Structure 1
Amino acid sequence: MQLLDTLVGKALRRETPTREEALAVLRTEDDDLLDVVAAAFRVRHHYFGRRVKLNYLVNLKSGLCPEDCSYCSQRLGSRADVLKYTWLAPEEAARTASAGISAGAKRVCLVASGRGPSDRDIHRVADTIAAIRRDNPGVEVCACLGLLGEGQAEQLGEAGADAYNHNLNTAGDRYADICTTHTYQDRVGTVDQARAAGLSPCSGLIAGMGESDEDLVDVALSLRTLDPDSVPVNFLMPFEGTPLESEWTLTPQRCLRILAMVRFVCPDVEVRIGGGREIHLRSLQPLALHIANSLFLGDYLTSEGQPGAADLAMIRDAGFRIEGTGETTMPAHRKDAVTPRKRGAGTALPPNV
């Protein structure tokens, strides 16, 4: 297909596809799906070879969130049957993280429910980072704590965090349809704060929330403009007891098209297969590895994932290899463009007084 040759050429030159070209990827026929995957693989292989980066989630604080994000099982008013608990002790969180690291995870993602952290919460996370690094000095640590206040990104950097995740989730024009307690611009502002503090920005989307093709392309193009280092692509898990519990619209083929579209729009960033891959991609998960170069290992925040051993076998059987802790995920041109953080290598914050 001429479209795919055009998209590959633009991606290898790091040029942005047009909105119409990105939309055309989502509207390709099933007969052309393997061609789409093969074209996306050419881009993925050019920047990342056959490496797969493994990430591991640690849920530091679960449930009881005051925000009303309609996709989330932890939202205000959720009737979903999920665990609810306050902050894990640092040593307990470190033990949980070590389980993922020992299985091959290169990055630990520390997540906490809520609108955003208090200064006391930042100190809790700092202590947790220190506990993780004592036994795993080479691991990357990403924090995902909600909307950041003034100076909090800098504090996380001083505590040893490498990255900060805050997803855009959907197109700006429809953000109010899925959340009313904060705005799309609040999310953009938090990603900008993280970048300004020297943290590697991570921001992605959720597909399957009733959005249109145009919405998916618009959020992907917005992410291209925001220029995060990693882009998680999540597929809605319609938890019973949430407003989107009936949204079962995704097919494995559509998930692959969405991943391919994101790869063409964001060709040289870490595209990560996020939550929902098991239930929506199903037996086509190995094909997704030809597009994305990263995935979450094991369980998610409030739901079980595919067993870690099955993930590792899938990666091997598909002919890929796990990226090691001594390897840099980002292509050289992105790595060289990053301004080094002005922080220590994981120094603890002073006591919160």
Structure 2
Amino acid sequence: MTTFQALANQVLDGHILTDAEALSILESDDEDLLPLLHAAYKIRKHYYGNKVKLNMIINTKSGLCPENCGYCAQSIVSKAPIEKYSMMKREEIIAGAQRAADLNAGTYCIVASGRGPADRELDIVVDSVKEIKAKHEHMTVCACLGLLKPDQASRLKEAGVDRYNHNINTSAAHHDQITTSHTFDDRVNTVELAKASGISPCSGVIVGMRETKEDVIAMARSLHAMDADSIPVNFLHAVDGTPLEGTSELTPRYCLKVLCLFRFMNPTKEIRISGGREVNLRSLQPFGLYAANSIFVGDYLTTEGQESNRDREMLEDLGFEIDLEPLKREAVTQ
């Protein structure tokens, strides 16, 4: 039987995991968790050393979304009592970038609910990004505004947007169990459109939505095929009032195995521990960074995150270093 260390060596030599090898990671015994993390860390350290990228998100438009995504408190089918508001003013978005800089977050993520941006909303984002890049030259600006049209992607690129996020969320086979108001291919096409416009592609997943382990493997493989530069791995934080209310399938140990799988399957990519890490990884959060090399700081879209000083203490205790290096331009133009 191939050990995880041997498998890590093969991955570093260019091997792509088979489905059987991927399943062996997700189904590994808990007593093998530390050897698995050690092997994932070998890959992570090879490409990223002990550096951790920090990301901060701003929810510039909340609720009011016509999509029926079952996990989302902002969707039309949600009864969750969240704050709802239309697009923020430019000044508020720019102020958020300063907060990100104060937290040493190298990436600032501008997010808006909805199927896709209206022209007025895109105008606000474009104007905001231009001013942000003028003030924070080395900050990576990521936009997450839903499904894009070609001219919208071009405008974002011209404004200075470095990265565009549109998560696949789940596997193609499981997609219709999560939402029917758009297709899996709609999501992939938006990522490809951003990539074609010269913007670094970011796409990730939400684990814990009643999918199978084979679905999780398919997600990791899809993102490998898409060549996403940044991969946020979210763990479902089921919100009361959403169709997935009450769903609680995850353990901290399984979440760590998922992070290891994504590192093995996408060895050169930024793997980000994202939403739900606090409630799913719990006391094992620090172990996640032996596989992943990126986290969010601050709050998420509709749920609270861990206090930023606790994140900083966690990184210091691990002996890890905050990565302030700007996004490499060659990554954007691939």
Answer yes or no: same fold by TM over 0.5: yes
* Partner SS, residue 228 of structure 2: coil
2:62 is aligned to 62
* TM superposition shift of 1:150: 2.6
1:187 is aligned to 187
1:188-337 equivalent positions in 2, closer than 5 A: 188-324=188-324, 327=325
User: Which residue identity is paired with 2:87?
Assistant: W
* TM superposition shift of 1:16: 1.1
Give yes or no for the alignment of 1:99 onto 2:93: no
1:110 is aligned to 110
Aligned length: 334
2:333 is aligned to 339
* TM superposition shift of 1:264: 0.2
Q: Retained in 1: the 8 A contact 2:106–2:326? A: no
The whole-number CA distance in structure 1 between the counterparts of 2:312 and 2:331 is: 32
* Partner SS, residue 271 of structure 2: strand
User: Which residue identity is paired with 1:339?
Assistant: T
TM-score of the pair, normalised by structure 1 = 0.92
Q: Retained in 2: the 8 A contact 1:117–1:146? A: yes
Q: Deviations over 1:111-137 (max 9, x none)?
A: 000000122222111011123234322
Q: Deviations over 1:143-186 (max 9, x none)?
A: 00000013211110001100100011111011011001000000
Q: Deviations over 1:289-338 (max 9, x none)?
A: 111000101110111100011111111111101002xx2567xxxx7575
The whole-number CA distance in structure 1 between the counterparts of 2:160 and 2:2 is: 46
Q: Retained in 2: the 8 A contact 1:44–1:290? A: yes
User: Which residue identity is paired with 1:9?
Assistant: N
Q: Retained in 2: the 8 A contact 1:48–1:329? A: no
User: Which residue identity is paired with 2:333?
Assistant: T
* Partner SS, residue 109 of structure 2: strand
* TM superposition shift of 1:255: 0.4
Q: Retained in 2: the 8 A contact 1:71–1:236? A: yes
Q: Retained in 1: the 8 A contact 2:200–2:333? A: no
The whole-number CA distance in structure 2 between the counterparts of 1:151 and 1:323 is: 33
Q: Retained in 1: the 8 A contact 2:272–2:292? A: yes
The whole-number CA distance in structure 2 between the counterparts of 1:316 and 1:329 is: 23
The whole-number CA distance in structure 2 between the counterparts of 1:253 and 1:182 is: 32
The whole-number CA distance in structure 1 between the counterparts of 2:104 and 2:330 is: 26
Distance change in 2, residues 1:329/1:41 (3 Å):
farther
1:351 is aligned to none
Distance change in 2, residues 1:245/1:151 (3 Å):
same
Unaligned runs of 5+ in 1: 341-353
Q: Retained in 1: the 8 A contact 2:140–2:327? A: no
The whole-number CA distance in structure 1 between the counterparts of 2:326 and 2:41 is: 19
The whole-number CA distance in structure 2 between the counterparts of 1:275 and 1:20 is: 28
* Partner SS, residue 73 of structure 2: coil
Q: Deviations over 1:3-47 (max 9, x none)?
A: 313420232123211011011100001100111111100000000
User: Which residue identity is paired with 1:188?
Assistant: V
Q: Retained in 1: the 8 A contact 2:170–2:205? A: yes
Distance change in 2, residues 1:137/1:36 (3 Å):
same
User: Which residue identity is paired with 1:57?
Assistant: I
The whole-number CA distance in structure 2 between the counterparts of 1:19 and 1:142 is: 32
Q: Deviations over 1:194-234 (max 9, x none)?
A: 00000000001100001110000011101110111010000
Percent of matched pairs sharing the same residue: 48
Distance change in 2, residues 1:12/1:29 (3 Å):
same
1:39 is aligned to 39
1:163-182 equivalent positions in 2, closer than 5 A: 163-182=163-182
Q: Retained in 1: the 8 A contact 2:200–2:331? A: no
The whole-number CA distance in structure 2 between the counterparts of 1:183 and 1:235 is: 21
1:347 is aligned to none
* Partner SS, residue 150 of structure 2: coil
Q: Retained in 2: the 8 A contact 1:56–1:101? A: no
TM-score of the pair, normalised by structure 2 = 0.97
1:3 is aligned to 3
The whole-number CA distance in structure 2 between the counterparts of 1:131 and 1:287 is: 38
* Partner SS, residue 141 of structure 1: strand
Q: Retained in 2: the 8 A contact 1:3–1:21? A: no
Distance change in 2, residues 1:138/1:336 (3 Å):
closer
Aligned-residue RMSD, C-alpha? 1.4
User: Which residue identity is paired with 1:141?
Assistant: V
* Partner SS, residue 173 of structure 2: helix
Q: Deviations over 1:255-276 (max 9, x none)?
A: 0000000000000000000100
